Chain A
């Protein structure tokens, strides 16, 4: 019952115009962090809620959790609706548990842009591990308006990491930029494809191809699985042939031990590639029966080894943090400017002025920004 302490602080609505950064926490941050680190599930759940809601205090919370993170391996799984993501995640969680590892899952589902409402159904497919609290499944909706889904996911992953989860899986429908940003939080990204998805494979060319560290052809017992595997393999081959110099140029002369042995599920036949270059494998699974799940885990582990050995793990993490800092700053500045806009009678008034040709958008923006610019200039040493 000690967990309840997390909820004891009385609300106290944030004063209008103040940013989340400066607002007083609405909950007892230290107690929550302590309980979370002590392994209380409810504290973890509540922490993620505060992160999602951006309850004032969540920044301090995430800030304090950050130093306890870095031990989990984070995998992102994306793919079109109906390819079997949740089912595969369920079986992966089961397999990890069999190996004695603890698992955290963040399942992101779309939300209605009109009402903000959502039905988050991924839990239904995750029946293999029910009753096992060491699999922590959390559904999140893409509350699109905030544009902060990726940030919220990254923070939720931090909470799971700090809690001590060994494996963290982020699952999302690979529909748009927002979702792609979400899976980027992961060290390893798997893209799920189902057989016969000719158009899907076409679609992959447009952008998802680049983010995939591993392709999984699920429902491999269906007709056309071979063809899909073949198409993917060819596409990956093409991709490699296009820019061999870029990919291998800087470490061509390095003596590297041949750490990347081809797994047998890899359908990649070219043997002349740089051993330090990651060759995206194509793995076949039948997730409903758990077939091929081992191979998927092996591919994930291979990729992580590759990342660690090549130094890419750190590079990726650093560039993620850089992006995160930028996003935070944009967001905070945005909030600050919103307050300025409110102060000047709201955006509608300004828009109306522009519409009446009394002013123009650039002038309005300058007018709003100038005091801030001056302030920054004055305070710079």
Chain B
């Protein structure tokens, strides 16, 4: 009956930020995470960075996955990071970004604290494995 000692359930927030209506990728990843046994909170479309921060803090997620295909990652992601830092949540939240991100920007985002950027064509298994291996120990 008790499952103490087993792997703890990983909670993820899959978020779409800004004026970007392409959510197929977010849906696919949300589903893949679910099937991997994660608890996935999906934000829906068109969220402001503040809203994402609020959801990430309240839901106390292990992983925040932001999907951006609009090219606005340079503005939106830093705002999310700022917000997470304000609540002291940046250190133990694994922040990953998916979508269309040019290589140069990728390095910049990783500099800011994004753990990994997953571009088009990434195998779902790769992302899931990455999350499993890199999720922060939060005790």
Q: Is the CB of B4 within 8 A of A14?
A: yes
Q: A143, B9: Cβ atoms under 8 Å?
A: yes
Q: Are B5 and A16 in contact (CB under 8 A)?
A: yes
A residues 1-34 near B (Cβ < 8 Å) are: 1-4, 7, 9-11, 13-14, 16, 19-20, 23, 26-27
B126 within 8 A of A: no
A147 at the interface (CB under 8 A from B): yes
* Complex Cα spacing A124 to B34, Å: 17
Contact B139 A55 (CB under 8 A): yes
CB distance from A24 to the nearest CB of B (A): 11
* Residue pair B139, A115 in contact (C-beta under 8 Å): no
Q: A118 contacts B50, CB within 8 Å?
A: no
When the two chains form their complex, are residues B35 and A115 in contact, meaning their CB atoms are under 8 A apart?
A: yes
Contact yes or no, B87 A116, CB < 8 A: no
For the complex, give the distance between the alpha carbons of A334 and B2 in Å.
8
The residue on A at minimum CB distance from B7 is: A116
Q: What's the Cα separation between A315 and B31 when bound, in Å?
A: 44
Query: Do A117 and B59 touch across chains, with their CB atoms under 8 A apart?
Result: no
Question: Would A139 and B41 be within 8 Å (CB), given that A45-B59, A115-B36, A131-B48 are in contact?
Answer: yes
A124 near B57: Cβ-Cβ < 8 Å: no
Interface size class of A (residues with CB under 8 A): 35 or more
CA–CA, A112 and B5, complex, Å? 20
B91 touches A4 (CB 8 A): yes
Q: Is the interface of B mostly helix, strand, loop or mixed?
A: loop
CB distance from A161 to the nearest CB of B (A): 16
Interface centre among B39, B48, B92 (most CB of A within 10 A): B39
Q: Which chain A residues border B35 with CB–CB below 8 Å?
A: 112, 115, 117
**B2 CB contacts on chain A under 8 angstroms:** 19-20, 54, 146, 331, 334-335, 338
Q: How far is the CB of B102 from chain A (nearest CB, A)?
A: 30
Interface bin, chain B: 35 or more
- A68-123 with Cβ < 8 A to chain B: 111-112, 115-121, 123
- Alpha-carbon distance between A49 and B60 when the two chains are bound, in angstroms: 7
Which residues from chain A contact B11 at a C-beta distance below 8 Å? 49
Q: Give the one of B51, B57, B92 with max A CB within 10 A.
A: B57
Q: Is A260 an interface residue (CB 8 A)?
A: no
Decide yes or no whether A136 CB sits under 8 A from chain B: yes
Asked if residues B89 and A42 are in contact (CB atoms below 8 Å), the reply is yes
Given contacts A1-B88, A136-B58, A146 and B3 within 8 Å (CB-CB): yes
CA distance A335 to B4 in the complex (A): 10
Instruction: Write the nearest CB–CB distance from A36 to chain B, whole angstroms.
Output: 12
B63 at interface, CB cutoff 8 A: no
Distance from A220 Cβ to chain B, minimum over Cβ atoms (Å): 25
Instruction: Known A45-B57, A123-B44, A133-B54; judge A117-B33 contact (CB<8 A).
Output: yes
Cα A120 to Cα B34 in complex, Å, equals 10
Assess whether B9 is in contact with A334, with CB atoms less than 8 Å apart.
Answer: no
Once the chains are docked, how many angstroms separate the CA of A48 from the CA of B139?
14
A341–chain B nearest beta-carbon distance, Å:
11
B127 at the interface (CB under 8 A from A): no
| A267 interfacial contact with B, CB 8 Å | no
Measured between alpha carbons, how far is A353 from B30 in the docked complex, in Å?
44
B92 to chain A, nearest CB (A): 6
Q: Which residues of A contact B43 (CB under 8 A)?
A: 123-124
Give per-residue flags for B35-56: 1 if the beta carbon is below 8 A from chain A beta carbons, else 0: 1111111111001101100110
Shortest beta-carbon distance from B112 to chain A in Å: 19
- Distance in angstroms between the alpha carbons of A177 and B51 in the assembled complex: 34
Whether B8 sits at the interface, judged by CB under 8 Å, is yes
Q: B103 — which chain A residues lie within 8 A by C-beta?
A: none
In the complex, what distance in Å separates the CA atom of A123 from the CA atom of B1?
Answer: 30
Please report which residues of chain A, range 138-156, place their CB below 8 angstroms from some CB of chain B when the two chains form the complex: 138-139, 141, 143, 145-147
Give Cα A247–Cα B88 distance, bound, in whole angstroms: 53
B129 touches A (CB below 8 Å): no
Docked CA distance A3–B1 (Å): 33
The 26 sampled A-B contact pairs (Cβ below 8 Å) are A2-B88, A3-B87, A7-B139, A14-B4, A16-B5, A20-B4, A27-B139, A41-B57, A41-B87, A49-B138, A53-B9, A115-B37, A116-B37, A117-B34, A119-B30, A121-B44, A123-B59, A124-B44, A127-B44, A130-B47, A130-B48, A130-B50, A131-B50, A139-B39, A139-B59, A338-B2
Q: Which 4 A-B pairs have the closest CB atoms?
A: A124-B44, A117-B34, A45-B60, A115-B37
